[in-house]
Structure 1
Amino acid sequence: MAKEKKILIFSPFKNDNNLYPHCAVFFKELANFANIDFQFFSERGLVLERISKIIKQEPLKKFSYQRLIDVKNEYKYLLEKYKNTDYDIVIAIDSVPYIIASMIFKTSKIILWSHDFRSYDESVSKNILYKLSNRYTRHYLLKNKSLIIQDDAREEVLLKSINVKKDCVKTMYMPVSLKEVNAFKEYNPNDKPMLMQIGGISDYRSYSDLLIKHYNENSELYDLTIHGYISDEIKILLQNISNKPVVSDGFYNPLETHNIVINSNIGFIAYVPTDLNFQNIRFASGQLVEFLRTGKPLIIMGKTNLNQFIEENKVGVSINSIDELNVAIKQITSNYNEYSRNCIQMFEKYYNIEKYINEFKLNFIDN
C-alpha cells in the first residue's frame, strides 16, 4: 500500500470559522487521502501595499518599516520551525506566502494556489514592493512550475502581471467550488419574490447602495435580505430610509451560508469592476456558487465576464443599471422553474468541488 502524501497548507487565512468555505471544504476533502498540516502566515500582500505607500511618502521614519521587520521575523521563526521537516507537497495561497514557502521548503513540490492578486492594469502594481513580489513570484513559479487558479482568463492576467509564459507552468483550473447540498425550495409565482445579496455589502464594491435605495422605492414589488459584512456607509444609509431590508449581519458559519440563501428566491450579484481581477469573476465568485447550488436564479449587475456567462447558461438576467431590476425580476419569476433547474445543472457542470478533488489527486498526488 502506497504511503500517504504529506501536504502542508501554507495560508494567509487562519484555519478557523472565517476561512473561505471553498478552502475549508477542499482541505477537508484532501484529508481523505493525504496527511494535512496547516500553517498560517500573516502577510498576504495588502499590508505590504500600505507600507509601500508610506515608504514613498516618509522614507526616513523607522515605523514605516515595522511590518517588514515583522514579516522577516516570522520568516526566520518558520525557517527554524521547519528545518527538519519535509513535505511532499506545499500548497501556498497567493504570492507572498508562496514566496516564503518556496524559500523554506527546498525539496517539496510547491504549488501556488492563486486566489487574488494585483493585476498589471492597477496602478498599485507599480509600487516597489509589488514589483519585488512579482519578481520573486516569477522566479519561483518558473522553478516550481505548478499553479492552481480559477480559470484561463485569470491565469492569463496573472502570468502577464508577472511576465511568465503560459507554456512554462503546469496549471490546474479550479473555480471557487463547493459540495452539493440538498437545499432546493419551491417558489410559488403568486408570492412576492425575495431578493438576497450576500458577501460584502458596500457601495464601493457591490452597488449595495443602489439596490437598497431601489428597494426603498419599490418594496411593494419584492422583498430584500442582505447578509454579510456591512460597510459603515451602508449602515448609515439603512438608518435613513423608511423601507428597510431584512438585515442578517451577525456571525454565521460560512459553511452554512446555504441555510440562509435557501430562504431567498433570487440572488442579486453586483461587482464594481475596478480592475481585471473583478472583471474576470465568473469562476471566482463564492456568492455565485451559493446561489447556484440552492437553485436560485440570478440578477447580475456590473460589467464583468459573469454577465454573458449567466445568460448563456440561462440561470439569470444581466442588467446594466438598477433601473432595469423590476423587469429582470418579472422575467425570472415568469419562468422560475426553468431558471432554477438550470442553476442546479450549471453548479454540477462547473462548481461541484468533487470533480476538482479528483483532478488534484490525479495531477499532484498520484504522479
Structure 2
Amino acid sequence: MTDKHIALIAPFGWAGVSTPIVSSVEYLHSFGYKIDLYYDKNEACNRMGLNEPLFNLDNVNIYFYDYKGEDILEEYIDLQVNKKDLEFIDFITSKDIDYDFLIGYDEEGLIRAGIYGLKNNIRFYYHSLEFYEREDQKKVAEKFFANKSEGIFTQDKYRAEILSQTLHVPISKLSVVYNSTIGEPIFEKSDFFRDMFDIDKDKKICLVTGTLMSITGVDKILESFKNCSDEFVLVLHGWLPDRNIKECIESAMKSNGGQIYYSNTILEHKDKFKIFASADISFVYYEPVNLNLKYAAWSSGKFFDSVRCGVPVIANNIPNMKTLVEDNGCGIVLDDFNEVQKAFENIMSNYEIYKKNCYKTYLKYDFKESFKNALGKDLKI
C-alpha cells in the first residue's frame, strides 16, 4: 500500500468509458493510490450517456471541468495555449492537493499536466491515445511539454516510432502500454444479446461495437451482410454521432428483419464484457483516412476486449493488423469485405483453435505489466 496521491487529466467528455483510463485507475487503486480524475463536462457526451464515470471506487475522486469561456489562444511563456487549458490550472489549483505525479491524456491533457507540473515541480507523464496531426500552435505546445515530461506512453511500438519522429523526442522516452484491460480471460458465454433481441441459439452473433461511423466500417459491414447466410446475425452496439449512418442502420434493419439489430445500452465497466461474451465473431474496422486511423490496429480496445472473451475477429487490412490478428491466430484480415461470408465459414470450421488463440493473445499483451514498466520509479507498490 502507498500514501501517494496522483491526478489523471483527461480533457474530454468520455474519459469514464476510456479503456486506458479505466484500466489505469483500477490498477493504481488496487495498490492503494489516491486518484483524482479530471475530465471535461460535455453535453454531447452526456446525451449519449458517456460523460459519467462508469465505476465507483473508494479513494477515487471525479472532478468535472466545465469551461464556458472563449475558444482563444493566450500566451504562456513562449507558447500560444488555449485559454481553456490555462484556466484549468486555476481549477486544479483550487483543490489545494499536493500530487506526487500527473498523467495527461492526449495533447490537451499533456499541456494541462505540463503547465501545472512545471509550475509546482511535479513530475508528469504523457499518455497518447490518439495522434494530434495538425501543425499549429497546439502541436508546438505538445512538442514542448512532451520533451519536458518524464515519459510518453502509447499503445504499440509502431505508434511509439511515429511519436518519436513527430514530437522530436528520443525513442527511449517512449513506453508501450497495451490497450487491454485488467483481469483473467473470460471463458463463460453471455446471453446478453440473445435475451435482449430473442435471438435463436442456433444463430451466430457477429458484433460491431464502439462509435458507429463510416470510418469504423459500419456501412461496409452492413453492405457485406447482404451476401451472408441467415445463420449469422449482426448486432451493432454503440453510439451514433453520424445521422447518415443512423439512417443506414435503420434502413438495413427494415430490409433485413431478424438479421440486423442495434443496441445503445451503456453498461458499467465491470459489466461491459457481457457484450463481447455474447458474440461469436467480432468486427474490427478502421478506415485509414488519417495517420491515427491508419495505425489503429494495436490501439483498438474492441480487439482486446473481444479476444479476452475468446471471440475471433474479422478486421480490415491496415498497417500491422495482420501482425496482430493473423500472426496470433485469433482471426482473419480481409482486403475485400465482400469475402466476409467465406471468413465466417473459415472461422466457424476452426472455431476452437481461433478461440484458444484469442485467450493466448489477451494474456500476451498484458496491461498491468506494460503500465508498471512505463511508470518505472513512480510506481511504488
**Which of 326, 330, 335 is the aligned partner of 2:350?**
335
> What amino acid is aligned across from residue 32 of structure 1 in structure 2?
S
Quick check: 336-345 or 96-105, which moved more? 96-105
1:243 partnered with 2:256: yes
Percent same amino acid at aligned positions?
A: 21
Is 1:66 the counterpart of 2:70 in the alignment? Answer: yes
TM-aligned CA distance change 1:327 to 1:74, over 3 Å: closer
Using structure 2 for the length normalisation, give the TM-score.
Answer: 0.78
1:182 has 2:182 as partner? no
Relative to structure 1, is the Cα distance of residues 277 and 255 closer, same or farther in structure 2, using a 3 angstrom cutoff? Answer: farther
The verdict on how the C-alpha distance between 1:81 and 1:317 changes in structure 2, with shifts beyond 3 A counting, is closer
State the Cα distance separating 1:40 from its structure 2 match.
Answer: 2.4
Match in the other structure for 1:10: 9
Alpha-carbon distance change, 264 to 85 in structure 1, aligned in 2, over 3 angstroms = closer
Maintained 8 Å contact 1:10/1:41: no
Deviation track 1:188-211 (CA, whole Å, cap 9, x = no partner) reads xx94422111112222x1221121
**Are residue 364 (structure 1) and residue 364 (structure 2) matched?**
no
Give 2:221's aligned residue: 211
Render the CA deviation track for 1:276-323: whole Å, top value 9, x for unaligned: 212222321011011100000111124232133211111111111111
Instruction: Write out per-residue CA displacement over residues 46-70 of structure 1, whole angstroms, 9 at most, x where no aligned residue.
Output: xxxxxxxxxxxxxxxxxxx921279
Report the secondary structure of 2:283's partner residue. strand
Aligned residues: CA RMSD: 2.8
Counterpart of 2:224 in structure 1: which amino acid?
A: H
1:273–1:302 Cα contact (<8 Å) kept? no
Q: Unaligned stretches of 5+ in structure 1?
A: 44-64, 120-124
Aligned counterparts of 2:235 and 2:226: Cα–Cα separation in 1: 12
1:229 correspondence with 2:239: yes
Deviation of the 1:176 alpha carbon:
0.7
Report the equivalent of 1:114: 128
Partner of 1:160: 165
Match of 1:324 in 2: 339
Cα distance change of structure 1 residues 8 and 321 upon mapping to structure 2, 3 Å threshold: same
Offset of 1:361 from its aligned partner?
A: 5.6
**Mapped partners of 2:100, 2:295: distance in 1:** 32
- C-alpha distance 209-15 of structure 1, shift in aligned 2 (>3 A): closer
Q: Answer yes or no: is 1:25 the counterpart of 2:23.
A: yes
- Aligned partners of 1:21, 1:77: CA distance in 2, in Å? 24
Distance 1:345 1:72, change over 3 A: same
Runs of 5+ in structure 2 lacking a partner? Answer: 43-68, 75-81, 191-200
For residues 9 and 88 of structure 2, the distance between their equivalents in structure 1, rounded to whole angstroms, comes to 14
Deviation at 1:150, TM superposition (A): 1.1
Where does residue 210 of structure 2 map in the other structure? 199
- Count of aligned pairs: 329
Do the aligned partners of residues 226 and 219 (structure 1) sit closer, same or farther apart at CA in structure 2, a change above 3 Å counting?
A: farther
CA contact under 8 A between 2:103 and 2:125: conserved in structure 1?
yes
- Give the letter aligned to residue 153 of structure 2: I
Quote the offset at 1:336 in angstroms: 0.4
Matches of 1:301 and 1:149, distance apart in 2: 22
Letter in 2 for 1:91: I
Cα gap change, 1:136/1:333 in structure 2, threshold over 3 Å: closer, same or farther?
same
**Matched AA of 2:86:** Y
Query: Which residue does the alignment assign to 1:105?
Result: 117
The residue type paired with residue 220 of structure 1 is D
CA distance in 2, matches of 1:197, 1:234: 13
Task: Indicate the SS of the match to 1:67.
Answer: coil
